[in-house]
Structure 1
Amino acid sequence: MLKRIKTLASLYRELGLRWSAFRLAYAFRHRSGLIRLQMPLYKWTDRPLATWLKKNIPSESTSYAEWRKANAPKFSLCDDTGGRERGRFSRAYRDHLLKKLTASSTARSNSSPTNINE
């Protein structure tokens, strides 16, 4: 019981009053069943794909797949490589880091270490 109180106090300190109030309200809505009233289930036939798409986008599965292949936006986590270097830094940022690293290592090698015994 004491561990649970400490955990709740830690959550309050780390995440704040707003999150704690939201979480308590969400837990109440979930346990009381209010959340089901607020967000009722619906069938896929009630809201077909055409209701979610813009007017000029086809909603049939095969034509939509073809349209998506032709019009898919480019996705890249790297800024200037166009996705060629997945999971790596962009070239400009990598060059910037290398310059910083070499500058700091040359500054360290130029400074002579002091000897306490001298």
Structure 2
Amino acid sequence: MMNRLDDYLTRIGAIPLLTPEEEIALARRIEAGARAARLIAERAAEHEALRKVLTTLVDGLAARQALIMRLRYGLGGHDQHTPRQIATRLGLTPQWVRALEKESLARIRSLGRAHELRAWAS
């Protein structure tokens, strides 16, 4: 019984399933998929590195400014909020929230130079 099965598998294995052109196309698709997987992994690693740098920069702000930045931009597990929503939550005016946000962004920009944040700005 085993010899017949081996013979059958040997014969069937000798029959090409794809033409040479189809094999080349399949190989190209597999290669493209592998390249895409590498690119996705590289982008994920880059995103994680950027997240760590931004977290460090935001953590370096005053507590209220750090909270405003986290709420405004959805950092640290927070949902994104409008200046008005943040103002209501913190008991401030929306104008004051915008002023603190602007000041915080300027500080992050200046500190970001030291952390090579400009590499992600392109």
Question: What TM-score do you get using the length of structure 2 for normalisation?
Answer: 0.29
Question: What TM-score do you get using the length of structure 1 for normalisation?
Answer: 0.30
